[in-house]
Every structure is written in C-alpha cells, then in structure tokens.
Chains A and B, each alone.
Chain A
Amino acid sequence: MGKMSLEDLRALREEQKKNLSRRSVENKDVEVIVGMGTCGIAAGAKETLDAFVRELDENNLVNVRVSQTGCMGLCYVEPTVEIVVPGMPDVIYGKVDAEVAGKIVRKHIMNKTLVNDHIFDRPAADIVEEGRKN
C-alpha cells in the first residue's frame, strides 16, 4: 500500500480490527466448542471446525470464540459441538457436518432458536454417578 489519506487509514483500521478481534478473547460472549477427540476427528470434526470458522467470518460474527475440546462422551453422534450463548441453555449438538454447522450459526447463534434433530446431551448426572460406584 502506498501513502494513505485519512479515509484510507480509517478504512484500513476497520478492516484490521476485524482480523485482530478474531484473535482476542475479550468481549466474546458466545462460545462454540468442537469435540476433537479421536472419534470426533475420525467422524469429520476438522471439517466441522473449518465450517464454523468460515460461517462466522462470512456473517461477521466477531463476538464468537471457537475452541476445541476432547471427547464429550457422545461418540455415537460425532462430530459433537457445544454452543454456549448467554440467555440460552448450553446445548450439545451431534452429527454436525459442514451444512449443520451453517444452520447452527444462522439459527442458534444469530436467531436464538435451537436447531432441531441434532440436539443431544451429556449423560445425566445420576447415571455418571452410578457408573462411578460400580
């Protein structure tokens, strides 16, 4: 880029802000957590993760933090993704491919409505407790 005018500088700042805010952890209230255990990766969690990052970028959602975690224990419905949005219950989605990821971004994160047919949950707490006793 050559010499800039005031307008150029302002435009560049806005553009660069977007880039940098992706890296920042401040002011991010929505969280997308992709299960990246061996089972998840085998089932395509990497593509899912890519899809989320792409969708969020296309929709300009800068307040979302995408992170990865290990196996969530729902290996039969991998890839699994947990979505944390303030004011909504924490939801675990299963069988999330790139297409479903797009739906989750548009419906769940942007319009605050749950995406049917893909909601799963952690095993209930009492079952976990029972398992520990045995």
Chain B
Amino acid sequence: MAPFKHYILVCGGTACESSQSDKIYKNLLNECEKHGCKESTQIVKTGCFGFCEQGPIVKVLPEDSFYVHVQPDDAKEIVEEHIIKGREVSRLLYDKRKSKVRAKIEEIDFYQKQFRVVLRNCGVINPEDINEYIARDGYKGLERALFDFSSEQIIEELKTSGLRGRGGAGFPTWMKWNFTKKVEGEQKYVVCNADEGDPGAYMDRSTLEGDPHSILEAMTIGGFTVGADYGYIYIRAEYPLAIKRLKIAMEQAREYGLLGKNILGSGFNFDIEIRLGAGAFVCGEETALIRSIEGERGMPTPRPPFPATHGVFGKPTVLNNVETWANIPVILQKGGAWFAQIGTDDSKGTKVFALTGKLRNSGLVEVPMGTTLREIVYDIGGGIANGKEFKAVQTGGPSGGVITRDHLDTPIDYEHLKELGSIMGSGGMIVMDEDDCMVDIAKFYLGFIVDESCGKCAPCRVGGRTLYNILDRITKGEGQLEDIDKINAIGHAMQKASLCGLGQTAPNPVLSTLKYFPEEYKSHIKDHRCPSGKCKKLISYHILADKCIGCGLCARRCPVNAISGEIRQLHSIDQEKCIKCGECYDVCKFDAVYVR
C-alpha cells in the first residue's frame, strides 16, 4: 500500500460528535472518494482535542492545519482546496490573521500552558485502533511490569512517583495497592471507577473515549501487581460512546493476547468486564459502587472495612478512578522519578480539568499540579467572556466550594484547595462572573444532593433537604438572619455525621459561598435584594424614561404581554403580569431596560 499523503483527524469526542462531527467524517470520506484521493488520504476519528469551545475540530496533517467550527458542508472545501490543491482553507483556521504564517498548534494560547500525560493520546490516535496505541508506546508499561519488574518493584515505582488518587480525595495510590497486595491467598479484583457524575465534568469520559487502551493496560498492570486476575470497569450508561470504544478496545486486546490467558507468554491471566451504572451519583462513592457491581442497590456502607481488604464480593479490591489509572502506564514506562518531577512537593503529576462556565475558551485542559488558577482561567481559558467581571471558580462539583478572586494565585494542588475550603474533586471547574448569584449556586448544588442522596443516613437525607429549604427561602426574600447560624450548624453536623463522602461533603458549596460571600447572603435576607439580579422573586424589570425610544421591540417579544406603550412613546412594564424572564432586557438595543 502506498503511504498516505494527507491525514485528516476529525474529533470524535462527545462534544464534537453532538455538533455533527460524525457527519463531517462521513462527508470527508465521500468527498475523498469522489475526488479520487481516498487511497492517499487517511481519515481518522480521534478522541477529544480538549478545545471544545471551538468544536467541531478537524486537523489536517502534515500541514498541521487546525480547523475550528467545521460544518458538515465544509468537507467539500477542505477536500477540494486543501487535499487536492494544497491550499489551506483560511476561513476555517483557528487564527485567521496568521493564515499566511500559520500558527503552530503549540502556539495556540489554549495549549501553551498545558502538559499532557493523561490526555497524551487524545486527539492524536484513533481510539478504535489498537495499533495506533501500540505505536505511541502503548502496552510498554505492561511489558515492563510483566518482564522487568517484580510486583514489589512496581509498588516502589508508584511510591517514588508520588501519584495520588485523582477521584478527588488524593489518597496515595501505592498505599492502596499495597494494602490489597498484602492480603494473601484470595481471589482479588481491580476496579476502574468511571462513574463520573459531577455537573459539568467530563474528564473521564474524554479519556475513555480518546484512549481506552490506556485504562485496559493500567488495570492489567494493577491486577499483576496485587495478584488479581479479574477487573471491572464501572461506567454509567449515559456514556455510550465511551462504552462502545471500551468494548472495541477489549476485543482488540483479547485478539492480540493482551487480555486473557497467559498474557504475552508471561503466564499471567487477566480479563476485564464492563458493568453499567444507571447514573446514580452516589455510585461514584466506592462502597456504593461495589454494592452496585455486586448487583445490589447502590448504597454506601461504613468504612472500615476498606475496599482494599473487603471490596467486591467481600474480596480485596483495588479501586481507582479513570484518571488515576491513565497515569499508571506512563509511570511504569518512564519511571516514577520522571513522574515525580512534574508538579509540587506533595502533589505530583498533572491534573485534567473540565473548564466550563463564563469563559472564552471552555474545554478539557491538563496542567501540571501547582499551576495557578489565574493561569488556568486567563491564560488557558482566555478570561471571562463578554467583558464581565470574574467572581469565583467552583471546583470539586457538589462536594467542593468556591475560590474567589483573592485566591486566584493559589497553586492548584490537594492541600491548597483544601485550605481554601474547596477540594480538588474529580476535576470539574466552573467559572462564574458577576451575573452569578452565590446563594443561587449553593441552592443548585444542594438541589442536586437532595436528588442524589441515597437516603440511608439521616444527616444527609434530612440535613440536605433542610439546608435546601433554607436556601430556597433566602432566594425568595423570606430568609431570617438566624438562618445563617442554622446553615453553619446543620452543615457542620452533616460533615461529621454523614455515612459516606457524598453527605460529608454536601454542605461544602453552601458553607464556602457563605464564608466568602457573606454580604450576598445578608443582602438577600436584610434588603430583599439579589445583587447579581438572578433570584427572580427579588428582582423587577423597569424601563428607563430617558433611554427608551419607544421602538416596541420589548413589547412584541414579551411572552405574557406585560409591556405596553404607544409606538415612539415611553413603554412600561406591568409588574403584576411580569414573569421576570428577562427577554426585554436581552432584546433592548438601547439599554433602556434595567434590573432592580
């Protein structure tokens, strides 16, 4: 077969796929067929490029042209102009100004401060082709584990690397493995926790979609180290693409003898099974996850005993999160010392964040531990969109808290985030601007907890509901000053008395917003005012007499006909009828509508 002249990489992550990247892929195939360049062009669907804000993304090599916001109809032009005639389609390039002297991918600000270990293959290889994974030093870590190291040495490498659990708690991975390894003469298991459930977080999904073999390789290494011959991947059914690619990867690995009996002739047997979760948030908690794998209802059990000694079916089990697993093959391949060079004293390596919210560039980013929030929000994320003011970053999802402007220069690692009353969590990072109301945000997360609490223990079941009701009252302007003390009392009780991590961390969003934005709570309670103009009960829309030109646009757009006025005359809003949808505010071209 003649070598290819062009390679077109089409992003096949869920974000790009939902904006029709699959259609783009098919159109590109058709166009290449039509123009007779099918043989000389390889079209590859890859995992997430991470730059989701600009998706769907198509990259053409060897020119390294980075096309963004590509539409299915653009396939024709990409093939006719770029592939056939060798002329870049400049209107689709990320940086159009530089189309003459092309911006290299590494020069795009979004990628400059990033360092990719976990996402090393995402957007580079075809996740459905094991050969491409192997070409990128895939299964080399397994080779070393099986033939160069003893299991003690593997634990030693992990210890040197300083890797800590990426699910959020940051427990040293080597210790976890060592506990399980030390239990003798029993059936053991390894488990991959892919039950990613934080609102706005999709790091694990992208890793599984873009590089499924890295997880299979890592789990096999884990199994060899602790003496387990069977593994489970617990993944939520809402991740169909990740599941499909995992299944393909498992088939290919079995065919190559990288899973199954006598792996690579070493005598070691290992296989993996996928268990689908129904999407209950609590099943991301390890003991609940184990119950769910066993076929029981997903409810947590008290620890100890820990899964390391009493896990799946009561057997010793190593349970790690997707991102933790994804680091393992690299550590074995390049050595623990290499890994330990990245990051800070106590937090080694990198962390993947799903950067979302009011940013210019949202997307999936991987940075060395110790990178500051400012670098992530401004250098990578491009700052706040629409010229608004930065207010806070929410990390750790429903278990985390907010970080304010004063702490933007805090280096991100486990200890620093904890000090600030937030947590690393699994890596969701939601950026908020001046229009976001902190009470409303806290209420949102508590609403999530109320829905997702399994109901087994009272502190979480009753405490969460009570906190939610208090916040609901406050956002309606019916709060009392004593409510603030109540929030603190209930919150701290939940932290101490809840059975599992879900309940223990559930009050974090409200406690941390209360700590950093007490004046917002007070202004809701005392002045019945929402400073961000978010809480509907506390705001009203009005029209400024000196700015309204009487164009009538707001009146036409109002869904409840609450706005009246003669054309070219001042209009007014009937507060009785107004449902505070904000449509008039959005459509007015003269800034005549204001919120009070």
Chain B positions 100-143 with a Cβ under 8 Å from a chain A Cβ: 105, 125, 131-132, 134-140, 143
The stretch of B61-69, B164-172, B219-227 in contact with A is: B61-69
Known: A4-B256, A23-B62, A66-B5. A9 touches B264 (CB 8 A): yes
Residue in A4, A22, A23, A70 whose beta carbon sits within 8 Å of that of B86 in the complex: A70
Q: Nearest CB to that of A10 among chain B residues?
A: B143
Which of A49-57, A89-97, A100-108, A118-126 is found at the contact surface with chain B?
A: A49-57
- Return the CB mask of A1-25 against B: 1 if under 8 Å, else 0: 1111110011011001101101111
A113 on interface, CB distance cutoff 8 Å: no
| Residue ID in chain A nearest B266 by CB atoms | A6
Instruction: Determine if B7 and A23 form an interchain contact, defined as CB atoms under 8 angstroms apart.
Output: yes
B257 within 8 A of A: yes
Q: Does A98 contact B (CB under 8 A)?
A: no
Residues of B within 8 A of A65 (CB): 62
Partner of A68, one of B7, B61, B86: B86
Q: Which of A10, A16, A24, A50 contacts B131 (CB 8 A)?
A: A16
Task: Give A54-96 interface residues, CB cut-off 8 Å to B.
Answer: 54, 57, 65-70
Q: Are B86 and A36 in contact (CB under 8 A)?
A: yes
Of B132, B258, B264, the residue contacting A16 (CB under 8 A) is B132
Contacts of B4 in A (CB 8 A): 22-23, 53
Nearest CB on A from B146, distance (A): 8
A70 and B62 form a contact (CB under 8 A): no
Chain B residues with CB under 8 A of A50? 2, 5, 40
Q: Looking at the complex, which one of B105, B134, B135, B147 makes contact with A6 (CB distance below 8 Å)?
A: B147
Say yes or no: B87 contacts A4, CB within 8 Å. no
| Chain A interface bracket (under 10, 10 to 19, 20 to 34, 35 or more) | 20 to 34
Which residue of the partner chain B has the closest CB to A38? B85
B3 pairs with A70, CB closer than 8 A:
no
Determine the chain A residues whose CB is within 8 A of the CB of B62 once the complex forms. Answer: 22-23, 25, 28, 65-67
A4–B130 CA distance with the chains assembled, in angstroms: 13
Query: A109 on the interface (CB 8 Å rule)?
Result: no
> Residue-by-residue, is B246-264 near A (CB-CB < 8 Å gives 1, otherwise 0)?
0000000001111010101
B86 touches A1 (CB 8 A): no
Which residues of the other chain, B, contact A57 by a CB distance below 8 angstroms? 3
Q: How far is the CA of A2 from the CA of B541 in the complex (A)?
A: 70
Q: Which residues of B contact A115 (CB under 8 A)?
A: none
Instruction: Check: A41 CB closer than 8 A to any chain B CB.
Output: yes
Q: Is the CB of A13 within 8 A of B140?
A: yes
B265 at the interface (CB under 8 A from A): yes
Q: Report whether B134 and A16 are in contact in the complex, using a CB–CB cutoff of 8 Å.
A: yes
Question: Is A34 at the interface (CB under 8 A from chain B)?
Answer: yes
Give the Cβ gap from B120 to chain A, nearest Cβ, in Å. Answer: 12
B256 in complex: contacting residue of A1, A54, A68, CB < 8 Å:
A1
Contact A22 B3 (CB under 8 A): yes
Give the nearest-CB partner of B87 in chain A: A70
Name, among A10, A25, A36, A53, the residue most crowded by chain B CB atoms within 10 Å (CB to CB): A25
- Contact, CB under 8 Å: B265 / A20: no
Q: What is the 8 Å Cβ interface bit string for chain B, positions 77-94, against chain A (1 contact, 0 not)? A: 000000001110000000
Instruction: Compute how far the CA of A23 lies from the CA of B8 in the bound complex, rounded to whole angstroms.
Output: 9
| Contact flags B563-581 to A (C-beta < 8 A → 1, else 0) | 0000000000000000000
- The answer to whether A69 touches B135 (Cβ under 8 A) is no
A131 to B7, CA, bound (A): 38
Chain B residues, CB < 8 A from A70: 85-87
Please give the distance in Å from B486's CB to the nearest CB on chain A: 58
- Set of chain A residues within 8 Å of B85, measured between Cβ atoms: 36, 41, 68, 70
B105 closest partner in A (C-beta)? A25
> A67 contacts B86, CB within 8 Å?
yes
Instruction: Write the nearest CB–CB distance from A110 to chain B, whole angstroms.
Output: 18
Query: Could you tell me if B2 and A4 are in contact, using CB atoms closer than 8 angstroms?
Result: no
Cα(A66)–Cα(B6), bound, Å:
9
Query: Which residues in A have their C-beta under 8 angstroms from that of B135?
Result: 13, 16-17, 19-20
B143 touching A9, Cβ below 8 Å = yes
Please determine whether A4 and B264 come into contact, CB atoms closer than 8 angstroms.
yes
Task: Find the A residue at minimum CB distance from B136.
Answer: A20
Residue numbers in A under 8 Å from B125 (CB-CB): 20
Q: Is the CB of B86 within 8 A of A9?
A: no
Partner of A53, one of B5, B131, B140, B262: B5
Bound complex: CA A89 to CA B3 (Å): 28
Most buried by B among A49, A53, A68: A68
Given A23-B62, A67-B63, A68-B86, verify A13-B2 contact (CB < 8 Å).
no
Nearest chain A CB to B496 CB, angstrom units: 52
By beta carbon, the residue of chain A nearest B131 is A16
Q: A20-B135, A50-B2 are in contact. Are A6 and B64 (CB under 8 A)?
A: no
Cα-based distance from A65 to B61 in the complex (angstroms): 9
B residues in contact with A12, CB < 8 Å:
131, 134
Q: Chain B residues near A4 (CB, 8 Å)?
A: 256-258, 264
**Bound Cα distance A75, B411 (Å):** 57
Question: Do residues B132 and A6 form an inter-chain contact, with CB atoms below 8 A?
Answer: no
Of the candidates B64, B139, B140, B260, the one whose C-beta lies within 8 Å of that of A25 is: B64
User: What residue in chain A is nearest B5 (Cβ atoms)?
Assistant: A53
Collect the chain A residues with CB atoms within 8 Å of residue B7's CB. Answer: 22-23
Closest B residue to A64 by beta carbon equals B62
CA–CA, A41 to B87, complex, Å? 13
Name, among B5, B132, B255, the residue most crowded by chain A CB atoms within 10 Å (CB to CB): B5
Q: Give A83 to B237 CA distance when docked, in angstroms.
A: 52
Contact A5 B265 (CB under 8 A): yes
Question: Which of chain B's residues has its CB closest to A49's CB?
Answer: B5
- Of all A-B residue pairs in the complex, the 3 with the closest CB atoms, nearest first, are A68-B86, A3-B257, A16-B135
Chain B residues proximal to chain A, CB less than 8 Å: 2-5, 7, 40, 42, 61-64, 85-87, 105, 125, 131-132, 134-140, 143, 146-147, 255-258, 260, 262, 264-266
Binding site for B on A (CB under 8 A): 1-6, 9-10, 12-13, 16-17, 19-20, 22-25, 28, 34, 36, 41, 49-50, 53-54, 57, 65-70
A-B contact pairs, 17 of them (CB 8 A): A4-B264, A6-B143, A6-B264, A9-B143, A13-B139, A16-B134, A19-B135, A22-B3, A22-B4, A24-B61, A25-B64, A53-B2, A57-B3, A65-B62, A66-B62, A67-B63, A68-B85
